[in-house]
């Protein structure tokens, strides 16, 4: 009996030891400051002037390939960041969520409040004397955590006021945990477009405000004992976000402080919900059992890098020039000229291999050595390779090359509208402008105002018979017709959205018609196709004709 008791006690002691080792405290870290920037993409950091973020990366650990949760909108993602869980655990599915109005219950709730537990409440419960602050620019952030947890809970008037309030709080209270939320970058993305000069300027401004926070920590005398984390909820594309593209899904994650490896790029996957787990890890508190986040422990000195046997290490993607911009992919339309293909290796070493037919490059594909020219349309695919198991995702560019004297193009008619939510009946309208373009692109069509419609008409040449998929990527609505039959219906008032349809086509010329409308705000149109031996791509302009 005594022996059984001893064995039981040893097993219990071992379990407790393992449990504690999962949540060790980095003793040198006494304070954590999270600087969250709404809508800040990795692309924004790369192209903006960000000396403070660059300093933290040089002196800390980082990734530009973090993953947000879906949908790529603010509420579910900020909740993931502060809770350590995904929406299936938190029950927060969209921006419409409210603590009193939701469709899915959280799997568990905080001790004193009817919502999923967050890092705010966790610290308060397990560190009762901790000083905790939440200072946020977007008022919606304030509904996502236990309101009883922070000592200081304030909604700033704008990004500057929010930063000033946070800096004064840090200097006066030397808080254990501070979360700062800025909203100016997301606003610039919606107003001027992600990737616009205004967007990059907003990222640069956020970086300058980060500098104020770093200085506040120095003035408070806590800089050397503080872990700084810079994060974002989602990226963006065009004038919005919420979709499934990598531009919207990938987010930056930067941290710097005591025991953090310097200049260390995080190669293993990082998810939004790992943020709260990392804060809990360094402060020595335990998140709820329902949480799925894992601390980025291997970024700290003395902690091993988890093994990823038989798994590939992800390299940075090559960049193909001309670069993508807004919704326009890399490449472009070239009339009476041979485009030069330039590919940049984003890694310091290794090889970039490429193909010209849209197929996936492999280690047997040609190595890119220098710029080269194209004499015909091509789908250029490029991929970085290094060592035995390191490679990047594939980058693609669509080059459309045509001669101006070969009858290529489409006729268009544009129409002015009052506010509408669906495509109009074009037969009842009189065009205000007609002309010709080489592609179904509204940026080449003359129109006045933001409420208008366009009809494109012409022919598409099919060289290989078989099943073809057609796609319209549009903001707002669009439809695509082949030989008078509606193949793609992407109608309605919506952000940039892709829809598709399929049809069997014989070899030869087929009538093509595309209709589009914009009901105000953002606007875009691109037409893609895929067929027998033809990879998905913008329909090459050399396959479009004014007449048979």
Q: Is the whole model's pTM more than 0.95, yes or no?
A: no
Domains and CATH numbers, the chain: 26-299 (3.40.720.10), 313-402 (2.60.40), 410-545 (3.90.182.10)
- pLDDT tens digit string along 518-528? 998 888 999 99
What percentage of the chain has pLDDT greater than the value 70? 95
pLDDT of 16 strictly over 50 = no
**Dihedral pair phi/psi, residue 155, rounded to 5°:** -105, 110
Of 470, 464, 477, give the one whose Cα is nearest residue 505: 464
Rounded Cα gap, residues 110 and 82, in angstroms: 13
Contact of 121 with 127, CB cutoff 8 Å: no
Rounded Cα gap, residues 362 and 378, in angstroms: 18
pLDDT of 238 strictly over 90 = no
Tell me the average pLDDT across 221-244: 94
**pLDDT at position 293:** 97
Mean pLDDT of the chain: 92
Rounded Cα gap, residues 46 and 204, in angstroms: 10
**pLDDT at position 295:** 97
**pLDDT at position 521:** 80
Rounded Cα gap, residues 122 and 449, in angstroms: 52
- pLDDT tens digit string along 491-536? 999 888 899 999 999 999 999 999 999 998 888 999 999 999 999 9
Tell me the average pLDDT across 19-43: 82
Task: Give the burial string for 272-292 (b: 16+ CB within 10 Å, else e).
Answer: bbbbbbbbbbbbebebbebbb
- pLDDT tens digit string along 347-373? 989 999 999 999 999 999 999 999 999
Tell me the average pLDDT across 149-170: 98
Query: Which residues does 515 contact at the CB level (< 8 Å), separation at least 6?
Result: 423, 426, 453, 454, 455, 456, 478, 479, 481
**pLDDT at position 310:** 66
């Amino acid at each position: 009996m005594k022996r059984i008791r001893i064995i039981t006690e040893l097993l219990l002691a071992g379990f407790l030891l393992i449990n504690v080792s999962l949540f060790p405290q980095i003793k040198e870290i006494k304070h954590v400051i999270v600087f969250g920037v709404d809508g800040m993409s990795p692309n924004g950091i790369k192209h903006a002037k960000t000396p403070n973020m660059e300093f933290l990366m040089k002196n800390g650990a980082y990734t530009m390939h973090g993953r947000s949760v879906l949908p790529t909108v603010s509420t579910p993602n900020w909740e993931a960041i502060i809770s350590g869980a995904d929406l299936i655990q938190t029950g927060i599915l969209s921006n419409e969520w409210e603590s009193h109005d939701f469709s899915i219950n959280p799997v568990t709730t905080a001790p004193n409040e009817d919502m999923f537990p967050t890092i705010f409440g966790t610290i308060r419960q397990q560190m009762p004397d901790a000083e905790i602050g939440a200072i946020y620019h977007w008022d919606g952030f304030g509904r996502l955590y236990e309101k009883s947890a922070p000592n200081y809970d304030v909604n700033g008037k704008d990004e500057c006021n929010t930063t000033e309030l946070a800096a004064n709080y840090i200097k006066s209270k030397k808080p254990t945990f501070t979360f700062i939320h800025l909203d100016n970058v997301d606003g610039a993305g919606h107003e001027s477009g992600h990737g616009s000069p205004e967007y990059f300027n907003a990222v640069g401004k956020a970086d300058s405000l980060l500098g104020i926070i770093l200085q506040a920590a120095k003035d408070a005398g806590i800089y050397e004992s503080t872990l700084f984390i810079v994060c974002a909820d989602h990226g963006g594309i065009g004038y919005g976000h919420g979709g499934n593209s990598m531009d919207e899904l990938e987010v930056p994650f930067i941290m710097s402080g005591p025991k953090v490896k310097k200049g260390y790029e995080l190669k293993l996957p990082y998810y939004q919900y790992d943020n709260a787990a990392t804060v809990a890890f360094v402060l020595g508190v335990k998140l709820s059992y329902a949480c799925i986040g894992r601390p980025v422990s291997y970024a700290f000195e003395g902690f091993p890098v988890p093994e990823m046997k038989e798994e590939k290490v992800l390299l940075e993607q090559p960049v193909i020039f001309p670069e993508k911009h807004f919704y326009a992919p890399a490449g472009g339309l070239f009339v009476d000229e041979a485009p030069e293909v330039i590919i940049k290796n984003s890694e310091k070493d290794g090889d970039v291999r490429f193909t010209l037919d849209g197929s996936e490059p492999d280690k047997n594909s040609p190595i890119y050595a220098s710029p080269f020219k194209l004499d015909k349309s091509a789908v250029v695919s490029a991929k970085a390779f290094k060592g035995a198991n390191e490679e990047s995702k594939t980058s693609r560019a669509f080059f459309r090359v045509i001669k101006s004297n070969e009858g290529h193009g489409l006729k268009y008619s544009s129409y002015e509208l009052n506010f509408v939510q669906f495509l109009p009946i074009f037969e009842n309208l009189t065009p205000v402008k007609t002309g010709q373009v080489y592609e179904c692109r509204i940026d080449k069509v003359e129109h006045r105002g933001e409420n208008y419609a366009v009809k494109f008409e012409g022919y598409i040449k099919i060289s290989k018979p078989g099943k073809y998929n057609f796609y319209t990527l549009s903001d707002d609505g669009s439809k695509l017709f082949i030989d008078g039959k509606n193949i793609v219906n992407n109608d309605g008032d919506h952000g940039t959205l892709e829809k598709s349809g399929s049809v069997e086509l014989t070899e030869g010329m087929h009538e093509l018609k595309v209709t589009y409308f914009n009901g105000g705000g953002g606007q875009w149109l691109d037409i893609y196709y895929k067929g027998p031996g033809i990879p998905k791509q913008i329909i090459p302009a050399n396959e479009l004709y004014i007449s048979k």
